[in-house]
Structure 1
Amino acid sequence: MTKIKVNNYVKHSPPQPQAPAGMMPPKFRINLALNESPYPPSPKAIEAYQETVKVLNRYPNYTSAELRLVLGEKYGLDDRKIMCAAGTEQILSYIARAYIGEGDEVIHPKYGFMVYRFNIAMQGGISVPVEHDDFIINVDYILDAVTDKTSVVILDNPGNPTGTYVPYDDIKRLRAELPQHILLVLDAAYAEFAYEDDYDAGLELVDKYENVIVTRTLSKLYGLSGLRVGWAYSTEEIINTLLHLKGGFNVSKPAQTAGAAAVLDQEYADECRDKCRAGIDYLTAELRAMGLNVTSSVCNFIMLHFPDGRDQMKNTNDYLKDNGIMVGPLGAYDLPASLRITVGTDAENQAFIRAMKDYLGK
């Protein structure tokens, strides 16, 4: 029997796991695995969402006009240079399809968001991972990796799963020393959590240079993971290129209206951010007091390392699962002795710490 031909890059990429529809996944009383917000969206976003339900018989605005206008006003940006999509992952896939070709080299952090490698492979590109210094990216390593085959540099800043960040002065130097024909992608999904004085998402670089795109999301601080809203800021030329790939009506009406309301409710966002930072400080201090190694994080998650290696990590993770707590093993990131822990509510954080103490006998 002749088989339907499958693109080689699809064939050799790992599929997303999918259980039979009738098989429900295990339920965890505490989910600290996916870097979601532990808090519900802004009450104003919920109200906007509920109002939108009344007109779901109508298609959403094709260009996410209201949301783009709100984002432009909030950050002082030209809304013509903003595009919205169903999550940042969708925008990153557009970037890959538009700017990565067969044999192109794409530089990215070794411990960066795993979607980068998938997108590169799907386009026939060559992944060029660069090392970290104590889980912090050194931009000199990126610059040293540039060749005449480099087409794109992708940098998640702050990083996932590391939780670390590259100071803005280094980002500006990277842009200044990068050849003009190479696209610099700054994935700032966790920018809202990083309020250190020397951090910046890099939006202003878009208005100074022709080869920068910054991607953002409303999934994290704004608590809209379930609605899938991402956005990007770049030159009109780059945005128009990506719009060639955009499907029709890809951002739902509820996502657009709730997203705009969430962005406008800065007071609520600040409250959530402050509670998340306090939770990160608590988790870090408690775990270090147990003798565990925690990478300092500016995000809504921490990276926890086990001194006795993979088996200690696996046994700890199994114990947590048995006690209804889900966290994120990092074997897929080539960190087999590490876990990523998303900050939860105070009660969830305390329950996690109790479970860790019980398991370790502390």
Structure 2
Amino acid sequence: MTLPVPYLAARTLTVVKPIDTSGAKRIVNLGLNESWLGTAPGAIEAIRASAADVHRYSDPGCKVMRAAIGKQFRLDPARIVCGNGSEELLDAVGRVYARAGDEILFPAYSFLQFNIVAYRIGAKAVEVPLGANFAVDIDMLLAAVTPATRVVFLANPNNPTGVAVPMDEVARLARELPSHIVLVLDAAYAEYVDPAESEATFEIADRHPNVVVTRTFSKAYGLAAARAGWAYAHPEVATALNNVRGIGNVNGMAQAAATVAIAAQGFVKEIRERTAEGRDYLHGRLRALGFELSPSVANFAFARLPGAPAGWAQDTVARLAKQGFIFRSNEDYGLPDWLRITVADQADLDEMLQLLAIEVEAVTGEKLAAGG
């Protein structure tokens, strides 16, 4: 019996990581950067109300959702494209502007989806080395551009490192990048930084027609399961993206929830402030355990235990999962010694940190304080 032969060889690169939680009495997931503070006010009620029309197709143009986003950020709704999460829109950019043999460029240790977008279309993924402390070097990024470069992805703040690129450097990248290359500013974690900085990306897109800004409702707005995201782009780029996105790609309940959530900026401000407090707390506790940290400004810590033996991070993830705490090791990013841990309720963090302290003690031989 013969099987279908794919044009692209099978790969194991994926954002989905199976994990064994057998034996755990409860599960605290600190591995997906979900918000522990719940969903934006009114969003769940909007979902319930829209469920009455689930037998009807949703608006394929997301007109009401786009209008709400445009009103909130003073943007032209005609330049907004909605997606099944921002991941669909990243993929749409790749499909519209790159082909097999072209190059898709991004800083090393960026969101894994950038690599996957290139893989899906047979393009070459080009990862540009970083500076110290995972800092993106704009000069190196620009120097890596070749005649084959078609798309540049920049996640800001980045996942999994949590590191942000200063907005003046982002603006310089947009200014100096050849205008025929699409620059995607993936701002999935924008709500966790100064709103003035995150909204400056829209101004950059207004100045440069080749710039696309992507945003999501999955993180700060607490709509991870609804799968709603959006992009802001030049009218011609928006038209091109609309031509390749799925019909009815944002379901009616997600549209209703996103339309309500985007106006809840007071809630987002609270999320930003409480996440910063929780991140500072988590960073302090991890430092006390001897961890090295990236300068994350997102809703997670990125940490490494110096001197730990090879495989320690993966073994620790596996052991704590069976005790009910999930977080992520990063061997698929080429950073096997690093852990990504989502900011969460302090009581949950304290319980996890007590278990993590035991793992650290086993390596260092030093008794560590379990308290905060």
The bucket for the TM-score relative to the shorter chain is over 0.9
* Deviation string, structure 1 residues 182-217 (Cα, Å, up to 9, x no partner): 110110100010128766551112211110001000
Contact 2:83 2:230 in 1 (8 A): yes
Paired residues of 2:93 and 2:241 also in contact (CA < 8 A): yes
Identify the residue that residue 126 of structure 1 maps to in structure 2.
124
Quick one: percent identity of the two aligned structures? 36
- Give the drift of 1:93: 1.0
Q: CA deviation at 1:287?
A: 0.7
C-alpha spacing 1:18/1:43, structure 2 compared with 1 (3 Å) = closer
Cα displacement (A) at 1:15: 7.1
Contact 1:167 1:200 in 2 (8 A): no
Residue 349 of structure 1 corresponds to: 349
Counterpart in the other structure of 2:58:
60
TM-superposition CA deviations, 1:41-65 (whole Å, max 9, x none): 1231111111111221211111111
CA contact (8 A) 1:13 1:121 kept: no
Paired AA for residue 129 in structure 2: E
Alpha-carbon separation, structure 1, partners of 2:170 and 2:295: 20
How far did 1:4 drift?
3.0
Matched, 1:181 2:180: yes
Could you tell me which residue of structure 1 aligns to residue 300 of structure 2? 301
Question: What does 1:243-282 align with in structure 2 at a 5 Å threshold?
Answer: 243-282=242-281
User: Could you tell me how far 1:295 is from its partner in structure 2?
Assistant: 1.1
Cα distance, 1:138–1:198 mapped onto 2, change above 3 Å:
farther
Please list the CA deviations of residues 74-128 of structure 1 after superposition, one character each: whole Å capped at 9, or x if unmatched. 1110000001011111111111111111211111111001111111022121111
Paired residue type of 1:40: G
Q: Partner residue of 1:30? A: 28
Determine the C-alpha separation between the residues in 2 that align with 1:220 and 1:274.
14
- In the alignment, which residue of structure 1 is the partner of 2:329? 329
Q: 1:2 to 1:30 in 2, by over 3 A?
A: closer
SS of the aligned residue for 1:239 comes to helix
Corresponding letter in the other structure for 2:109: Y
| Counterpart in the other structure of 1:195 | 194
* Alignment match, 2:364: none
Measured in 1, the distance between the counterparts of 2:80 and 2:269 equals 23
Q: Give distance in 2, aligned partners of 1:178 and 1:337.
A: 34
Letter in 1 for 2:82: C
The alpha carbon displacement at 1:260 in A equals: 1.1
Runs of 4+ in structure 1 over 6 Å off: 17-20
Structure 2 vs 1, CA of residues 97 and 60 (structure 1 numbering), >3 Å: closer, same or farther? same
SS of equivalent residue, structure 1 residue 137: coil
Aligned to 2:211: 212
Superposition CA RMSD, Å = 2.2
Separation of aligned partners in 1, 2:125 and 2:269: 37
**TM-score w.r.t. structure 2 length?**
0.91
Q: Indicate if the aligned counterparts of 2:81 and 2:238 stay in contact, CA closer than 8 A.
A: yes
- In the aligned structure 1, how far is the partner of 2:223 from the partner of 2:276? 19
Q: Which residue of 2 aligns with 1:48?
A: 46
* 1:237-275 alpha-carbon deviations (Å, 9 max, x no partner): 011111111221111111001111111112222222221
In structure 2, relative to structure 1, the CA distance for the partners of 1:314 and 1:281 (3 Å cut) is same
8 A Cα contact 1:31 1:327, kept in partner: yes
Residue number in structure 2 paired with 1:83? 81
- Within a 5 Å distance, the mapping from 1:134-173 to structure 2 comes to 134-173=133-172
Partner SS, residue 12 of structure 1 = coil
Structure 2: which amino acid aligns with 1:110?
Answer: A
Using structure 1 for the length normalisation, give the TM-score. 0.93
Change (3 A) 1:15 1:39: same
CA distance in 2, matches of 1:171, 1:269: 24
Return 61-70 or 195-204, whichever deviates more. 195-204
SS at match of 1:270: helix
Aligned residue in 2 for 1:95? 93
Check the 8 A contact 1:229/1:259 in 2, yes or no. yes
Do residues 291 (structure 1) and 260 (structure 2) align? no
Letter in structure 2 aligned against 1:288: R
Give, as a single letter, the amino acid of the residue that structure 2 aligns with 1:210.
Answer: P
Change (3 A) 1:44 1:202: same
